């Protein structure tokens, strides 16, 4: 944690205490799947179904973006698991946040990098590549109503958010390099044309997981990891 991060978090801890109504509103935003992921997916689908001559290219961009989002989020989670634990500001009593601690006392979760910044800045970047107008709205929404509340509430340091945003945007830009985009999205676009019922079923499931931050999948994997012996025993019978 650098001095800039510390000063910024101290500043927002004071603001959060002085403006409880704003803090309450930001807590609602930060805890709501609708205001986090579902609004972003609505913008994604608006661009997906918008009729124009460049529809095929635009859909390739969006497909590549989804793939990049998953890879970026996986890299982010790997960093959280392998780097030294960095206490979140509101888990650290030195910052005097009045917001309830993010992590359990006996199991602190590292704050670097921010998976919300990774996923939603990545998604907004892809939407921006597909549609400047909707993408500008998506990027503004991700910064102001997804990332900023997490800074205000002490869930992340500023550098957590900036690092996550850089990782997410960089992966989306890489996957939208023309040759890589064609390799990734081409087969899926072919599936869309040949079997739209299969493609849209998978897209619905996948977009739902994105809107939920992949929490249902992560909860299942965490359960299987913690209860692996029980699961193996059940399968053995």
* Percent of residues, the chain, with pLDDT higher than 70: 92
Among 37, 25, 71, residue whose Cα is nearest residue 146: 37
Among 134, 114, 132, 144, residue whose Cα is nearest residue 26: 144
Most confident of the ranges 28-32, 128-132, 207-211, 221-225: 128-132
Q: What's the whole-number mean pLDDT along residues 60-79?
A: 91
Three-class secondary structure of residue 50 per DSSP: coil
> What is the DSSP secondary-structure string of 28-47?
HHHH-HIIIIIHHHHHHHHH
Q: Residue 175 above 80 pLDDT?
A: yes
Angle at 193 between CA 190 and CA 195, to 5 degrees: 100
Q: Residue 181: what pLDDT? A: 87
Task: Output the pTM of the full model.
Answer: 0.86
Domain 8-232's class?
mainly alpha
Q: What is the mean pLDDT of the chain?
A: 86
> Exposed/middle/buried for 8, CB within 10 Å: 0-12, 13-18, 19+?
middle
Domain ranges of the chain: 8-232
Long-range contacts of 14-20 (CB under 8 A, 24+ apart): 14/96, 15/152, 16/97, 16/98, 16/99, 16/152, 16/153, 16/154, 17/96, 17/97, 17/98, 20/98
Query: Per-residue confidence at 98, pLDDT binned at 50, 70, 90?
Result: confident
């Amino acid at each position: 944690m650098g001095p800039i991060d510390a000063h910024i978090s101290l500043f927002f801890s004071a603001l959060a205490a002085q403006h409880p109504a704003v803090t309450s509103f930001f807590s609602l935003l930060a805890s709501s799947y609708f205001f986090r992921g579902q609004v972003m997916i609505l913008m994604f689908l608006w661009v997906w179904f918008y009729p124009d001559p460049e529809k095929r290219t635009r859909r390739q961009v969006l497909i590549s973006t989804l793939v990049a989002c998953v890879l970026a989020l996986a890299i982010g989670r790997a960093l959280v698991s392998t780097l030294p634990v960095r206490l979140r500001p509101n888990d650290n009593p030195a910052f005097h946040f009045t917001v309830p601690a993010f992590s359990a006392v006996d199991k602190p979760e590292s704050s670097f990098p921010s998976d919300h910044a990774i996923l939603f800045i990545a998604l907004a970047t892809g939407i921006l590549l597909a549609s400047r107008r909707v993408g500008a709205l998506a990027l503004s929404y991700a910064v102001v109503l997804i990332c900023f509340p997490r800074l205000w509430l002490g869930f992340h340091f500023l550098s957590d958010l900036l690092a996550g945003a850089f990782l997410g945007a960089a992966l989306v830009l890489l996957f939208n390099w023309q040759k890589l985009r064609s390799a990734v999205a081409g087969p899926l676009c072919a599936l869309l044309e040949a079997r739209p019922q299969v493609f849209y079923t998978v897209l619905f499931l996948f977009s739902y997981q994105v809107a939920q931050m992949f929490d249902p999948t992560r909860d299942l994997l965490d359960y299987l990891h913690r209860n692996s012996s029980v699961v193996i025993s059940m399968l053995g019978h």
